């Protein structure tokens, strides 16, 4: 199905996630790269050597969940915008996501937005905590959102909708 729709199946997604124990310890990258394509900026971007592709640029990146510090430098460098950071250390009820978002207008911290799943379907409310867009991100802003924990494996995007407020 993935090759027909672009929407990864739940079991594929699950395989890319670090352990819950690791997520609860603090921020860590989820690299949703499922296809062998010639691309390696994530490996180059990682200051800790936590993402490995190896000599063959077509290899699928392997993220070491123990080495990864969840700094997020890879998020805005991935040409496929396939990386996000998850952090389950803040609360037992919610998870923080850091996702790339290349659309205008950008949301503001404190705003409530509509959380979407991998097929762009409405999923939940999400609270915007922070929007980072420094020059080093080269116009791929990264948005931090707080999402209910039960959407850990399904939340992937959001839509800013005025009528969604309140």
Partner 1 sequence: MRITEHPILRFDRGKELSFTFNGQPMKGYEGETIAAALHAAGVKVLAKSEKLHRPRGFFCAIGNCASCQMTVDGEPNVRTCITLLREGMKVESQEGKGRLQ
Partner 2 sequence: MREVELLIIGSGPAGLCAALSAAESGARALILERSFRPGGQLVKQTHMFFGSERQYASHRGVDIAELLLKKLAEYGERIELMLNATAVGFYEDNVVTVLKDEKEYFKIRAKSVVCATGAFEKSLAFPNNDLPGIYGAGAVQTLMNVYGVRPGNRVLMVGAGNIGVIVSYQLLQAGIEVAAVLDAAPRIGAYLVHASKLARMGVPILTSHTVKEAVGTDCLEAAVVWALDEKFKPIPGTERRFDVDVMCVSVGLSPLNELLAMRGAEMKYVPQLSGLVPLRSENCETGIPGVFVAGDASGIEEASSAMAEGWLAGLCAAAKLGYVPADFEARRREYLSQLENLRSGPVGERIRAGMKLSLLEGGMRDV
Q: Which residues would be at the binding site for partner 1 (CB under 8 A)? A: 102-105, 139, 141
* By the rule CB under 8 A, 117 interacts with partner 2: yes
The interface with partner 2 within residues 9-48 (CB under 8 A) comprises: 32-41, 44-45
Do 109 and 143 meet the contact criterion of CB atoms below 8 Å apart?
no
* By the rule CB under 8 A, 5 interacts with partner 2: yes
Kindly list the distances between the CA atom of residue 153 and the CA atoms of 35, 149, 158, in Å, as whole numbers in the listed order: 19, 9, 14
Among 121, 130, 149, 150, binds partner 2 (CB under 8 A): 121
Do 86 and 72 meet the contact criterion of CB atoms below 8 Å apart?
no
Phi/psi-derived region of residue 48, left when phi > 0, alpha when psi is between -120 and 50, beta in every other case:
alpha
d(CA 9, CA 53): 23
Among 98, 127, 156, 160, binds partner 2 (CB under 8 A): 156
Q: How far is the CB of 140 from partner 1 (least distance, A)?
A: 9
Residue position matching structure tokens 């929007």: 131
Give the nearer residue to partner 1 in terms of CB position, either 139 or 165. Answer: 139
From the list partner 2, partner 1, none, pick the one residue 19 interacts with, judged by a Cβ distance below 5 to 8 Å according to partner type.
none
Q: How far is the CB of 141 from partner 2 (least distance, A)?
A: 12
């Amino acid at each position: 199905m993935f090759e027909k729709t672009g929407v990864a199946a739940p079991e594929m997604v699950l395989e890319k996630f670090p352990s819950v124990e690791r997520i609860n310890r603090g921020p860590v990258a989820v690299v949703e790269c499922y296809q062998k394509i010639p691309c390696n900026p994530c490996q180059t971007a990682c200051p800790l050597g936590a993402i490995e592709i190896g000599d063959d640029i077509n290899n699928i990146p392997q993220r070491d969940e123990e080495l990864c510090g969840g700094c997020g430098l890879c998020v805005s460098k991935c040409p496929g915008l396939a990386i996000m950071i998850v952090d389950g250390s803040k609360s037992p009820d919610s998870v923080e996501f850091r996702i790339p978002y290349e659309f205008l207008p950008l949301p503001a911290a404190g705003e409530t937005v509509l959380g979407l799943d991998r097929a762009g379907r409405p999923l939940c409310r999400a609270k915007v905590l922070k929007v980072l867009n420094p020059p080093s991100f080269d116009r791929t802003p990264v948005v931090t959102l707080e999402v209910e924990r039960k959407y850990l494996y399904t939340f992937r995007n959001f839509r800013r909708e005025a009528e969604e407020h309140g």
